[in-house]
A and B are shown apart, each in its own frame.
Chain A
Amino acid sequence: TQLLEQSPQFLSIQEGENLTVYCNSSSVFSSLQWYRQEPGEGPVLLVTVVTGGEVKKLKRLTFQFGDARKDSSLHITAAQPGDTGLYLCAGEDGGFKTIFGAGTRLFVKA
């Protein structure tokens, strides 16, 4: 059974701080996605990484896919209250089935 473990489960920081969220697995994935979910809404895709070692930047967010395509990280620089939400990583197995991690709940205090 493929599993994706996310850490930390919960993170509360001050506005302006940097943070990193991790997503780890013992399985290899064809691609890995990061989603953000706000209360009362479904998850919304932030980024997809496909190539081992790939780094993608989305404004203050930096996503990295591990060389072996088993793990990923999300780094946020100078966090803002608007970054508050549940961050989910998801691995796609090559058969269009997606496994989701349990999520990291981020709270950024003003």
Chain B
Amino acid sequence: DADVTQTPRNRITKTGKRIMLECSQTKGHDRMYWYRQDPGLGLQLIYYSFDVKDINKGEISDGYSVSRQAQAKFSLSLESAIPNQTALYFCATSDSYEQFFGPGTRLTVL
């Protein structure tokens, strides 16, 4: 079984809809991250959490919110999706320098 899982893997939605992307990990790590990846821009940090009670904004948090339901679960929400949020979204966990990434969610906002 994968250590970091993301659901859904693919999602197509319409402008204005609320979307939640979920991430679960079995690695027992306290630190979790959400990134978005766009062609030519690399990975940009949206939000990160160093433990269940700690939530921090990343470089591009506007239009997004997160919830750390438990050590193993970190969800990303788009309250009102817009087309420029079309991207590949990755969740990652870490307990050191290395980050372990999930397989990604491809989100398309029409």
Contact = CB atoms under 8 A, between A and B. Distances in A.
Contacts of A44: 101
Contact of B98 (A48, A50, A88, A101): A48
Interface stretch (A53-61, A67-75, A90-98): A90-98
B38 to A, nearest CB: 9
B42 A100 contact: yes
B40 A88 contact: no
Interface stretch (B11-19, B62-70, B74-82, B89-97): B89-97
Interface in B32-71: 33, 35, 40-45, 48, 50, 58
Contacts of A41: 103-104
Interface residues of A, number: 24
Interface of A: 4, 6, 9, 31, 33, 40-45, 48, 50, 88, 90, 92, 96-103
Contacts, number: 52
- Most chain A CB atoms below 10 A, which of B4, B42, B45: B42
A50 B31 CA distance: 20
Given A42-B90, A43-B43, A48-B98, A96 B50 contact: yes
Nearest to A92: B97
A63 B33 CA distance: 26
Contact of A42 (B31, B42, B92): B92
A102 B41 contact: yes
A103 B42 contact: yes
A102 B40 contact: yes
B59 to A, nearest CB: 8
B99 A98 contact: yes
Contacts of A31: 97
A33 B96 CA distance: 12
Given A42-B103, A43-B43, 19 more contacts: A9-B40, A41-B104, A42-B90, A42-B101, A43-B90, A45-B98, A50-B97, A88-B42, A90-B43, A90-B99, A92-B97, A96-B50, A97-B45, A97-B58, A98-B33, A98-B99, A100-B35, A100-B42, A102-B42
